[in-house]
Amino acid sequence: MASVIRKKAKAKRQRQRKEAKSKQYPKRSKKMLKAPQSLPFRDIIEAQVHESSRFLNEVIRPIESTRTVDKTKPFDKQVDQAKLQIMEMHKERVRSAGETFSELTNAIEQADAVVQILDARDPTACRLCEAENEVLQAKKKPMIFVINKIDLVPREAVVGWINELKSVAPTIAVSALNNQASMPVIQAVIASTAPNAKKIAIIGIAGVGKSTFCRYNPSLFIEVPSYTFIATTPEMELLQGCDCIDSMYDLAIQIMARKTDDDLFLALEIPAQETPDAVVKFLAKKWQMKPHIACKKFVEMFWNRSIPYFAIPSAEASVDGMEQTQIAALQVSLPVEMSAKVFVHLSKGDTIALDNKLLGVQDEDEEENDEEEEDESDE
C-alpha cells in the first residue's frame, strides 16, 4: 500500500514539474513608473523620470537607428577622391600609351626595316600585332624576329620557336652571353632581308634586351622606346615587360593555370595538387605564411629565376635546313638532357592587341567607311 502511495506521489510531482515548465510567464505590463505615496518630493521625482524617458524615446533612439547609415558618411569624400585618382591614373596611361604608340609608328615610318625582339621564354606574349601589321601590311617593309635570351631555355624550345615564327617573318635566336656566335647570325639575316637598309628600328616590350641588341651595330640599329600599355596581360607581367597591375594572388593563380604538366610540382618540391587554389593553400602551409604572401613569394621565384620556365612552341624542334651560323649560336642553350634545371612548362601566351579606339587610331577600312559617309552626307 505504501509503495502505491509513493508511486502516485511521484507521478503527481512529475506532472506538476511538467506543467510548471509548460507555463508561460505573463508579459510584464508597460506601466508608467510611480513613486511610493510616502516618498518625499514624489511629484518632482516622477517628473524627472518621465522627462528622462521622453528624452530617451524622442532623441537617443532616433540617433541610434540612423547610426549605421551615418558611419559611412565620413568616408564618402575619401571614396570620391579614390575614384577620381583612379580615373586620373587611367587618363594618364591612355595619354602615355598614345604618345608611345605615335613614337612607335613614326619610328617604323622613318626606318628602312624593323627588328622585333622577343623573349625566348614566351615569344608570342611579346608580339605586338599592331606593329607587325603596320610593318608588313601597311608599309610593306621587311621585318625580322629576334628571339633573345636563349640561354634561359632548352635548345629544343628555341629551335621550335624559330620554326614556328619563321612562317611570319625571318627569325633568328641569339644570346648576349655569346656575342661572337650571335654577330654572324645577325649580319646574315640583315644581308638577306634588308641589305640596303641604313636605319633599322628595334622594337619590343620592356626588358627583352633592345639596348643590348643595339650594341651590335649602334650606327644601324635605332632603339624605339617601349610601348606603354593601357591594360596589361598576365604573360607580360610574368616576363616583367610591364608594371604588375594584378594582385600577386591573381597572377600566381594564372601562372599555375598555364602549366602543361606536373613539372611545376617538381620545381616546388610538393605533391601534385588538383587546382591552383589547392597549390596556394599547400604552399601557405609549407612556408608558414598567409596565402597572399605565399603567392607573392611564388611569383618572385619566377622573376628571380629560381624557377626556370618556358612556353612550349607548336612546331617541332628540327634543325633541318637551318643555317650553320644559327646552329653555332644555339650552343649557349643546353639540350634538355644536359640541363640540371627542372623547367616549368607553360602554355604559350597570347599576342598583344592594342585598343585602337582608346588610342584614337582607325583602321584603313574604318577610315574609308568614314569618308564614304561624309561623301553621302555632302550629296
Residue pLDDT, tens place only, 124-140: 999 988 888 888 888 88
Q: What is the mean pLDDT of residues 88-100?
A: 73
CB neighbour class for 251 (10 Å; exposed up to 12, middle 13-18, buried from 19): buried
User: Is the distance from CB of 310 to CB of 123 less than 8 angstroms?
Assistant: no
Say whether pLDDT at 188 is over 90: yes
**Percent above pLDDT 90 for the chain:** 48
| Whole-Å CA distances, 302 to 79, 93, 100, 306 | 35, 27, 28, 6
Is 108 inside a domain boundary? yes
Say whether pLDDT at 230 is over 80: no
Is 189 inside a domain boundary? yes
CATH of the domain at 158: 3.40.50.300
Phi/psi at 181 (5° precision): -80, -25
Q: Please give the pLDDT value at position 280.
A: 95
Q: Please give the pLDDT value at position 46.
A: 64
* Number of independent structural domains in the chain: 1
Q: Which domain holds residue 217?
A: 89-359
Q: Please give the pLDDT value at position 151.
A: 94
pLDDT bin (cut points 50, 70, 90) of residue 367 is very low
Is 237 inside a domain boundary? yes
Q: Please give the pLDDT value at position 299.
A: 95
Say whether pLDDT at 314 is over 80: yes
Q: What is the mean pLDDT of residues 219-240?
A: 86
The full DSSP string for 148-195 is: E-GGGS-HHHHHHHHHHHTTTS-EEE--GGGHHHHHHHHHHHHHHH-T
Please name the amino acid found at residue 80.
Answer: D
User: Please, what is the end-to-end C-alpha distance for the chain in angstroms?
Assistant: 123
Cα–Cα dist 59/50, whole Å = 14
Q: Please give the pLDDT value at position 231.
A: 72
Say whether pLDDT at 48 is over 60: yes
Closest CA to 279 of 245, 303, 255: 255
Closest CA to 173 of 192, 151, 193: 151
Say whether pLDDT at 374 is over 90: no
pLDDT bin (cut points 50, 70, 90) of residue 366 is very low
CB neighbour class for 194 (10 Å; exposed up to 12, middle 13-18, buried from 19): buried
Strand partners, 203: 116
pTM surpassing 0.75?
Answer: no
Q: What is the mean pLDDT of residues 215-231?
A: 86
Q: DSSP letter at 288?
A: T
Q: Please give the pLDDT value at position 250.
A: 92
Q: Please give the pLDDT value at position 138.
A: 82
Cα–Cα dist 183/166, whole Å = 19
CB atoms within 10 A of CB 66: 9
Q: Which residue has the higher pLDDT, 69 or 343?
A: 343
Say whether pLDDT at 25 is over 70: no
Q: Which residue has the higher pLDDT, 98 or 366?
A: 98
Is 331 inside a domain boundary? yes
Cα–Cα dist 8/312, whole Å = 89
Is 17 inside a domain boundary? no
Is 353 inside a domain boundary? yes
Q: Which residue's C-alpha cell is 516622477?
A: 46
Say whether pLDDT at 373 is over 70: no
Q: Please give the pLDDT value at position 122.
A: 96
- What is the dihedral angle through the alpha carbons of 60, 63, 65, 66, rounded to the nearest 10 degrees? 180
Closest CA to 314 of 274, 363, 348, 351: 348
Is 378 inside a domain boundary? no
Is 217 inside a domain boundary? yes
**Residue-wise pLDDT tens digits, 149-182:** 999 999 999 999 999 999 999 999 999 888 889 9
* H or E element, residue 293: helix 291-303
Q: Which residue's C-alpha cell is 592587341?
A: 353
Q: Please give the pLDDT value at position 20.
A: 72
Strand partners, 128: 352
Cα–Cα dist 291/297, whole Å = 10
